Structure 1
Amino acid sequence: MPSVPSVSPATGQPTPSYFIHTTDAQFVDNAGRSLILRGVNLSGSSKAPAGRQSQTLEGFWEKGEAGSESFVGRPLNLDDGSADVHLARLKGWGFNMLRYVVTWEALEHDGP
């Protein structure tokens, strides 16, 4: 098995232990061990604005175009501690990967 670099070729700095690499079409850790990723979708409701039911279509497109809907707090609320509890529960169930469903506005809600 080819050796996995422990130093980033781009920066010359040590690669953090949590980085995942690919070797021979497999995901590997820094020690070259093959990884099995057990993932789950974090939230399908992330594409609906906060406080709005996903099936409510009245005014949906108009509010989206006007920028009057908010996606802050999607997919997890970082302020109330519920994200830590939920993520710890998923880890306890054996999941080691998350597939995020997010909208760009949730990341850059104040603009670039």
Structure 2
Amino acid sequence: MKGWILLALIGGILYYLYTETDTLDEPVAEVQAIYQQAEDKLDSMTGTQLKRIDHKVDLLKTDIVDRLSAAEQQTLQVITQSQTKLDEFKQDYCGNGADKHSSFSKENQTYICDKLN
């Protein structure tokens, strides 16, 4: 019985840290980046062709690097890994009435969208 209570307390603490604070944002972003790299490596091993992303992305990364937090930089790295992900980001988060991205501040999201268009 003590084990279940301890497990519930640990789960509650993790849930609180994940939903109410930004303590776990960087570790979660790191895990997502590692997972995405593994998925991309698997895709490349199975014969998926990679498309070259235009130079706007490279200029964006060097231009905005000092404005972004570590979690935002990792999210930008994940988004810019493939043209498909970049197109999905533009479609979902750029333009009038677009949703706010969970990782980027509104100002940084607007700046990224302006540079990509």
Query: What TM-score comes out, normalization by structure 1 length?
Result: 0.25
Greater radius of gyration (CA): 1
Q: Which has the higher helix share?
A: 2
Q: Which has the higher strand share?
A: 1
Q: Which has the higher contact order (CA 8 A, sep 6+)?
A: 1
Query: What TM-score comes out, normalization by structure 2 length?
Result: 0.25
